[in-house]
Amino acid sequence: MTESHGYTKFFPVSWEELHRHCKALAWRLLDNGTHYKGVVAITRGGMVPAAIVARELNVRVIETISCSTYNELERGTKVNVLKDATAAMPDQGEGWLIIDDLVDTGITAKAVRQLLPKAHFATIYAKPSGRPMVDSYITEVSQDTWILFPWDMEAVMSKPIVELRRQS
């Protein structure tokens, strides 16, 4: 992603950091006293966090909703639901927990909320534009930050921040 997409900062997240944040989310969800019927992972980014949270809450039933919004030409303008899990939840998601890695603009969260309006929606990371769409999150980042998740990174040499600034 580049500045042309509105991202001027990058926030790399390690596997260990992601795991700690997922466990922190599980603690927060446990403290609200709800026993969840199951977890709905928003794929693909929500799959790893959903697995960790489900393990920590001892939830064995996991469904997925597959959505796509990152199209280079129409980024964030519409959501394509590629796989819907609502057939397994005829009660509009009541008692279910939706997990995603991130709420950015809220476009995906809004589409999923329309499918499962009674579910509890939780993310690991939240940006200001999307934050009102979720019930729980752990870490807030600025809207102009691109989060580099561990599954999207490779080990390569990095430049000092000051050199990156000079290039822009």
Q: Exactly one of 91, 104, 144, 152 is catalytic; name it.
A: 104
Annotated active-site residue 101? The verdict is: yes
| 84 flagged as catalytic | no
Q: Distance between CA 100 and CA 110 in Å, rounded?
A: 13
Catalytic residue, from 101, 135, 144, 152: name it: 101
Helix (H) or strand (E) holding 125: strand 120-126
Q: Is 103 annotated as a binding residue?
A: yes
Token pair for 108: 């995906």
Residue 107 counted as an annotated binding residue: yes
Catalytic residue, candidates 100, 135, 144, 152: 100
Catalytic residue at 104? yes
Task: Flag whether 95 is marked binding.
Answer: no
Burial of 99 (0-12, 13-18, 19+ CB in 10 A): buried
Residue 102 in marked binding region: yes
| Binding site residue list for Mg(2+) | 101
| Binding site residue list for xanthine | 104, 147
**Catalytic residue numbers, as ranges:** 100-101, 104
